Each structure stands twice: as structure tokens, then as C-alpha cells.
Chains A and B, each alone.
Chain A
Amino acid sequence: MLFVALAAMAVAQVNVSGKVVDKGNNEPLVGASVIVKGADGKIKKFTSSKTDGSFAITMPSVTACRLEVAMMSFAKQSIPLDSISFPLTVYMEAGTTLLNEVTVKADRIREQGDTITYNVGSFAQQRDRSIGDVLKRMPGIDVANNGKIQYQGEDINKFYIEGSDLLGGKYGIATNGISHDDVGAVEVMENHQPMQVLSGISFSDKAAINLKLKNKAKATWTFNGDAGGGYSWQPEGAIWDGELFAMAIMPVFQNITTVRTNNTGENLSSSSTNFFADRRQTGLGQYVGVALPGVPSLSDKRTLFNRSFLVSTNSLWKFGRGEFKANIDYSFNRVTAEASDITTYFLDEGNRVITENRRGTDHRHSLSAKFIYEVNQKTAFINNSLQTNIDWDDVSLATTGSIPNGQSAKLPDYYVNNKFKMIKRFKGNHLVTFQSENEWESLPQNLELKMDNEKSFRQHISDHAFYTHESAAYAFNIKGVTLSLEGGIKGYIRSMSSEGADLSELSDLSDNFINVVNTNYLTVYATPKFEYWVRRVNLTLNLPVSYAHYNFDKAIANRDELYFSPSLSLNWKPSNRFSGAMRGGLGRSPMNLNLIHPGLVMTNYRTLKSGVDNFYNSSSKNVSASFSYKHTRHGLFANGMVMQSWTNVPYTMAQQLYGDYVVYSYADAKNDSKMLMAMGNIGKTLDFMRGSCNVNGSFSRNESHLLSQRQSVNSVSTGWSVGGKINGNPCRWFSFDYRIDYSDSRLTMNGQSESWLSTMENELSLTFIPHRKWQWTVSGEHYRNELSEHQYKNVEMLDTKVTFQLNKKIEFAASLTNILNKRSYNYTTYSQLSSFESRQQLRGRQLLFSITLRK
């Protein structure tokens, strides 16, 4: 190495000289940077240490100067030169070299064709634990509060781990469980067609996510877990939070098993929700509606009084051309809630106060099992999935006040389905598809009502349905045009019966509470489909037509109906940065068959429902346009959507009061509504601080016109929202996250407008890393909810957490949440003649100690 430093020679100079030595072994250090900085912090002169560790710099003066010595893997030394004599020995201590880091662009987000690769390491912040925490920071990817993932405003259609679809729609298990440190990269595959056999024949506008694991997490079992215990001030008592996560991702076998439990207000539903679940075609719905009192609109961890447990085990075996998967989950959730409403009427003879307290408990056990066999090849696709879901939901709710009572509902749900699909591709571009789906569900409902006067009522509903659907389709592709025709038959058998309490003793309601209903149908249908691909444009036209015969066993008159619901969509991708789509459709659909019941059904202690007298069809039209833009080099992602829809429903719900009871029924009406919705989202990486930011906005306007019994009601609800978030790691010892959401809404009825009501939510979290083993996070939330015009309810919440990392495998943490110990969410609104006070409970202060282990 050879370079010439041109140093001006002058008289009366200071010779800054010395030696750089490794403090650990007293050996000289070669190639250390030796810099003299002036009082202004600017570099005055510099050199590098020679092979014997020596350096020499001549300076006219060293007044207010500092000597800085730096070498990679050593802590930087900074020495004031004012009263130092030379030669000087600078001892360097092994440590981290602190640099002002700026993320390397090429590595953060990369693009290969339709695959966008996000480097996990360059988005993770110190306080992140799971890969889900990091996904939230990646521009273009959005993770909703419930764990659902969207890419450029559209739900993803698959979630893979190392290219295998182990979890199906329950990918929350992976996003919550897999440590971000085990994932090298997140790949987003745009326009992903999960069935290889359809590639090039059927267009997909959805994206899929694939986690690429680091080598250390592959071909071996990885474990991580944490266990915590502590004390809570409300509910008073001991708290726990534990989690165990095991994963094996091997070439022929994969498994993810997780066990989680807590009573700290953490909602585990994000780990047990199937985000890809299809709507059940059995179409059953609960008549009984006993719900726990509502909680304030704050985050779950502030309002959820729970005891939750979840275990999930998922395995995948590959053999031959196919793979077999088994997903088995069990969860238990006990939630309690309590609320009081106090209404005060200001009367001349003194105030009259009415208090209503509600206190309830919900126990829910869920067991689900899914077994899938799949062959996914270029010429053949076979999938059979057998699934069962069993839920036991017991709710009890005690109400005091004007009608004191206790309600308890037992609402089990038994569901089984089997879906089979086979697609064969032959002669390159001909496809034949066979499908068979069978579903069965039973939804018995028991409601028991105990009134204060010792009287009690019972209602039992039995409701079950069987649905079967068989279809065949043929498709072929010539020169970019795909034509397909699907034809099939659907059969549905349902029987419902209910027998219930006679309430005539309590009110003048003497209608019958007995129902025996059968709602059956048989549908034959054909769906011609036309797809046209020309370079960067895909045009799809769907023309489903069906004929249905409904048999209601004399409950109401039988019907024969013809349905036609055409839709057209156009996708245009002129470059890999931009894509746009336009869609439109119209259709007619039958009403919900659950509304057919001649007798009354009790929903809860004061509401009853009576069924329809007629069969109704509703019709709708919709048009929408959307676009997405990305510039991966600049880490810029944007998308926008606007949609307008029109619906026409020929009936409406009416309510009638019988004493203390409300009876809902249906009546002929002309009910037209029009909805406009627009939303947009922009995300950008902030490389200078290893961060990212996001801005989003939405607008909606829903206008409805209801004409019923010669009464006309026009209502318009308008709402808009804006939000933003930003996170970054501006220096080694500090990182932050900030989020703000603001929304405003208004309702107008027959030209009379209520005032705009807004809500605002701010969340800030600061993490300090004073030492590489220590981490301290302070975070807080502020909510401002407008209760009535210019009357605001403000709530502030403050949390803190200290983490000590003993080594790469063991970590200790102590956290204190809700430091200010806010225990209730109370507010009062006033009108001229009365005041209304609402009291709801919040989780109080909570202290938790935990240990985290990784393997």
C-alpha cells in the first residue's frame, strides 16, 4: 500500500505521533484510521497506522483538536489533544465499530420478473420478534389488526413457507410464531396462479407470499418459546403469558406446532382464523343473539378480559407426485365483559335514574381438523380436502335494571365438508375439470331466560342443512383466447324447527313460538367464460346462468327462479411498475332462506323475530376501477381503488313494540341504495434511517332510499379517514414507530344532518439500546373519540418494557403495561331532558416478567 500525504511544512509545528495497540494482547494494530479533528468536528488531517502500529501527523497547532482512532471490530477512541504529550500510545478495545448506517438499496427490495423480494434483515427493528412484526414494515404489504395480509390493496391468495403451502389460510400461526431472525427473505409473487395446470390459461390478479428461510432454520427442528408470569391490578390477580413454537421445514416433511396461552388481553384469534375460508354453503345462521356488552373502541389488549389457550399442529408429507397435509387445531377462549348504563331523566319532581348493569361470560371451545391430499403439476391437479369444525359456545349474561334477568345460551356448531377437484390438461391447452363438494352442518341453539320474578323460559332451535354441488368444466385455449364452459347441479336440504317459551304471561304477545320449516332447493347452472389475453391485457367475461327450484314445504309458496349474473373485467399491465383493472357486473340473488319461519323466534330477552311471508330476490350492479404502481428501486408502492355499487332489496325490516318487547318483522318495501367507496395507499422505504412510511386514505358514501308503507326515508352516511405510519432506526441505539389514524363520519336522514363525529388514534413507541444486551421500550397510545359534537373522550395509555439478552438463546424481559392504571372508560352525554352515562371496564396496570428461549 502506498500513498502520499501532502502535508504543508511549516515552522513551530506539533508532531502528533504515537502508536496504536490492541489492548487485549498489546500487539500493534496496522491500518487503523488516525484522524485529527478541529473544534468544529471537521477533519483536519489524517493518516493510517503503519505495520508497527505507529503514526505521525504534523500540525501547526492542536488547540481544541481531538484525535480519533478507528479500526473495524474495535471501539472508536477519541482523545482531546490540548494537554497531551507525544508520542502517545492509543489502546484499542475490541467492540463494535459504530457507523452511521444507511441501508444498502440493492438488497432491501429486489425484483425478478413478477417476484418482489424483501430482505427481512433490512426491515427488522430491534423490538421485533416475529416475522409478522417485520411484514408490517414492508411497503406494499399491509397486515390488518386481525392478521390478514394484503399486497397492494388485495388479499393474498396463498402463504407459502419454502414454497410449500403448509398452513392454508391459517398463516397467522406462522406470522405470529416464526422468529424474523430465521427468515432470510419475504417473496411476493404477483399475479400468482396457485394451480400450475392453469398457468397461462387462467388469469390471477392476486399475489402470494413465500417465506425463504435462512439455512440455519432449514432441515432441522427450530424451537422458540416464552413463558411469563406477573400481576394485574384489574382484573386483580395473577397473569400468565406463554408460547411454544416448533417448526421443521425439510424437503419431504414439514411441521409447525404451536401452543399459546395467556390471560393478559392478547387476542389469539389471529392465530386461529382461516383467512382463505370460503363461505359455508350450508348457509345456517344463529337466530339467538346473546352478546357480551360491547367494549370501548380501544385496542384489544386494553379491553379484552380473557383466558385463552390454543394448540395447533400442522404437518405436510411429500411423496411421489403429491403431498398430504393434516391441520389440527383446538382452542379455548373465556371472555368476560361488564358494562353499566345510567340514564338520568331531569323531571320537575326530581331526577329519575335508571341503571342497567350487564355482566357476561362467554366460553368457547373450537376443534377443527383438515386433511388435504393434493397433486399440483403442469398437466394435472387433484385436490381432496376433508374438513370438520366443531364449536361449543356458551354465553351467559346477567342484566339488572328495568327488566332484570339472566340469559344463558348454548350454541354448539357441528360442520363437516369434503371438497374434491380434479383438473387435467391435455394436448397442451385443453382442460377438463371435475368438482364435487358436500357440506353438512348442524346448529342447535338453546336459550334459557330467568326473570327476576323466578319465571323462566326456554327456547330450543334445531337447524341442519346438507349441501351438495357437482360440476364439470371444459376449457381450451387458442392464440390467447380461453373459452370455458362449466355446468353443474346444486342440491340443498335444510330443516329447522323451534319450540319456545310462551310469553303471553308477560305481554300481549300470543303468537305461536313453534316452527317446523323445510327450505330445499335444486339448481342447475351453466357458466360460459371467455378470457382474452393480448400481450399486456387480459379481458375476462363471465356469464353464469342458473335455474333454481325452491321447495318450502308450505311455509311459503314454492318458487322457480332464473338467475343471470354477468361480469366483465379488464386487467392491463403496460409495464412491471404499473397495472390497472376495471370490473363491472350485475346480478340477482335470492334472499337468505333463514328468514323463512312462520312462527316467532326469540333472539334475546327483549327481542323477537318473525319471518317473511314472501320469497324475495335482491338485485345489484357494481363497477370498480383500481390501479397499482411500484418502483422497487425507490421502495415506492402505491395503489388506489374506486367502486360504485347499486343494490335493490324489495323488503325491509320493521320493528314493533309490545310492552317491553321488540318484535322484528319483514315487510314489502322499495329499498334502493347506492354506495361509493374510494381508497388509496402509498408506502415508501426510508433508507437513510432503515425505515419505511405509509399514508392511506379512504372515503365512503352510502345513500339509501326506503319506501315502506307510504313512508319514505332517505338516509346518507358519509365517512372518510386518513392514516399514516412511520418507523425508523436513525441511529444504532434508537428506533421508533409512530402511527396516526383519523376518521370522521356523519349520518343524514331526510335532509336532517347530524354532526360529524371524529375519532383519532395516535400510537408512539420508542426503543433505546444503551448496550447491545439491553433494550428499553416506552410506548403510548392516545385515543380521542368524539361522543357528540365537540365533546371528546380522551384516553392515554402508557407502557414500558425492558429486555436483557443474556445470549442468542436466552432473553429476559419485564414489562409494565397501563402504567397510569386507567381502569374504566366512562363518559356522559347530555340532552335537554336527560343524561346518559356509560361505564365500561379497561384492563388495569399489569406487571409481567418473562423469559424467552430459542433453539
Chain B
Amino acid sequence: MMLFMSLLSVAQQRAQIKVGYDYEVNVSGSVRRADYILLSGQQGSLFYNPTALWMDVISKDDAARQAYGALASKLQESGRGNEVPNRSNSMYVAKDFDKQEKTVYDDYSDQFAVYNEPFAEMEWEVVADSTKTILGYECVMARSLYHGRDWTAWFAPEIPVHDGPWKFSGAPGLILKATESKGMHSFTANGIETTDAEIPAMVRADWYHTEDRIKYLQSQYKYIQDPLTDIMGGNLPANARIVVNGKETTAEEVRIASRKTLDSGFDFLETDYHK
């Protein structure tokens, strides 16, 4: 990762700590996991998926983009399409400790949204007598009702960083684990290192446009209900080939699959968009 960071031309602030998180989404027993990294420094931090950052970096380099295309088609041909690196986990959260504000970059399909949110929207209530050891650190429990979900977080008072995975921050120590009451979404730290790496700037900030958070989530929900209608405005050509994770499929199967996801109770990290 150090490598990609150094590719960025803008002089950036340095991180003091690097934390790796497993982000897990458990939809009725089937668990999907993704890697995220938090690089946190004195003035700010960035929470990102390393593959998404890698893809964003190569999207600016013609030679690298071609190499990626060759790799993708090679994997696709040999029936290993599901191994093609992709941006399916591409959320970025940049926090500014001076401004006490976070900037969230999120996307689905070809929609890229960015919005700001003050730290104050999240409040933690410490449950001081509940402790747990994570990565060798004694962690204290804190709870927060945040944007529709009931979150339980475990933070390490001994790590003097008021940061955490995703949009979490503001606990009196680094948050190493966060789970919500439905047991669907969770973040768990898998590693922690001191570092002096540069915090990367958003590589493709140019792709995102400002959007209201609630409106963005509503449109994303609509997309999930029927991805193909959303992509083609409902006018899917009759001879269109649909390939999902390297496997050829049909429009109907895609619809059934997304309905299944929603029927099994899946919902986003934030659920306060349901009006």
C-alpha cells in the first residue's frame, strides 16, 4: 500500500497508526467479508478498502489499466472471473479532526456520491464495567444509536486515538470492534501497527458528486431491488450478455437473486432512509 500512497503527488499528512479491519456482512448465515484499512494521523484519517484504492490508482495509469484489463480477461476466460479484483467494497471515509467533520465517499453501480457529516451526529455512551480483550488490548464497551442501527463498540483506552472503523470516531480510545444489534454488520480489527506512511488523498475525487445521504441511500435501495432496470432504464437489449462474478446468467436470475438478498432481511449500514 505504501507504494500506491507514494504515487500520489499532493503533499499529504502522515499517519501515526494503521489498523486493519475485517468488515463482515452476515445475511442469514452467509457471511461476506472485506478488508478495510484505517490510516489515522494527528489531523485526520482515511478508512478505505485496499483493493478499491489500488483500482483507483491504476485507473489513472494507462499501462496499468491495460495490464488490469488483460488480467481480468485472462481470469474470465479460465473460469476464474470471481477472482478479478473489483470495487465491490469501495467505501471511503475521510475524517478531519480539526474541523470535527467526516467526508463519506460511497458508490454503487455507476453512481458516485460524496457528503459531509459533523462528528456530533454520533454520540457514545460508555458501559464502563463491560470489557473484552481484542488484539491483546483491554477494550471497554460503548453504545450508540446511529442512523437507524443500535451499535455496540469496543474501544481501547490505552490507544490514544479517537478514531475507529467506517464513520466511527469520538470514543475515548481507538475502536477495535463494532457490531450492531441485528448481527448483520460488524467491523473487527485484525492488526494494528505504528506507521509514518502518508495518508492518501482521494485518488478519484473527480468521480463523486455531492448528494444528500438519505436520497443516496434511497436510490441505492431501489437499485438493489432491481439492478438491471436501474442500469438500463428498464430497456435491456434482448441479446445482452449478463456476467456476474465470471458466470453467465440471465436478467431473471439477477432479479431473483437480488430479491432473495432483500427477502433475507439485508439492509445497509444505515437504515434511517426508510421513511
A-to-B contact residues, CB < 8 Å: 1-7, 31-33, 35, 42-43, 45-48, 68, 70-73, 96-97, 99-107, 110-115, 119, 121-122, 184-185, 200, 212, 214-216, 535-536, 573, 575-576, 687
Contact = CB atoms under 8 A, between A and B. Distances in A.
Interface in B126-148: 126-128, 131, 135-138, 140, 142
B90 to A, nearest CB: 14
B160 A43 contact: no
Contact of B17 (A4, A42, A72, A573): A72
A536 B79 contact: yes
B16 interface: yes
Contacts of A7: 128
Contact of B194 (A32, A101, A212): A101
Contacts of A45: 128
B264 interface: no
Contacts of B19: 104
A308 B74 CA distance: 48
A536 B50 contact: no
A42 B129 CA distance: 11
B11 interface: no
A46 B131 CA distance: 13
Interface of B is mostly: mixed
A35 B37 contact: no
B123 A2 contact: yes
Interface stretch (B168-176, B203-211, B217-225): B168-176
A1 B119 contact: yes
Nearest to A98: B194
A33 B160 CA distance: 5
B124 interface: yes
Interface residues of B, number: 58
B190 interface: yes
Nearest to A70: B160
B161 A72 contact: yes
A96 B190 contact: no
Contacts of A4: 123, 125-126
A32 B172 CA distance: 9
Interface stretch (B1-9, B233-241, B253-261, B266-274): B1-9
Contacts of B37: 104, 106-107
B160 A214 contact: no
Contact of B125 (A3, A47, A185): A3
A100 B71 contact: no
A72 B126 contact: no
Interface of B: 1-3, 6-7, 16-20, 35-37, 42, 50-51, 54, 71-72, 74-75, 78-80, 83-85, 100, 119-120, 123-128, 131, 135-138, 140, 142, 157-162, 170-173, 190-194
Contact of A102 (B120, B171, B191): B191
B160 A536 contact: no
B201 to A, nearest CB: 15
A43 B162 contact: no
B17 A99 contact: yes
B163 to A, nearest CB: 10
A99 to B, nearest CB: 6
Contact of B157 (A1, A6, A33, A106): A33
A681 to B, nearest CB: 24
Q: Name which of A4, A32, A106 has the most chain B CB atoms within 10 A of its CB.
A: A106
Contact of A576 (B80, B100, B128): B80
Nearest to B157: A46
A46 B192 contact: no
B2 A214 contact: yes
Contacts of B83: 111, 113, 576
B1 A536 contact: no
30 contacts: A2-B120, A3-B123, A3-B171, A4-B126, A6-B127, A32-B160, A42-B131, A43-B157, A45-B128, A46-B172, A48-B172, A70-B158, A71-B160, A72-B16, A72-B161, A96-B194, A99-B17, A101-B191, A102-B136, A102-B192, A103-B191, A105-B35, A105-B190, A107-B50, A107-B191, A115-B71, A122-B193, A200-B74, A215-B6, A575-B80
A215 B197 CA distance: 13
B70 to A, nearest CB: 9
A68 B78 CA distance: 57
A184 B85 contact: no
Contacts of A3: 123-126, 142, 170-172
Nearest to A71: B160
Pairs A-B, 10 closest by C-beta atoms: A104-B20, A104-B191, A106-B35, A184-B3, A33-B160, A46-B157, A215-B6, A70-B160, A72-B16, A113-B71
B126 A33 contact: no
Nearest to B4: A184
B135 to A, nearest CB: 5
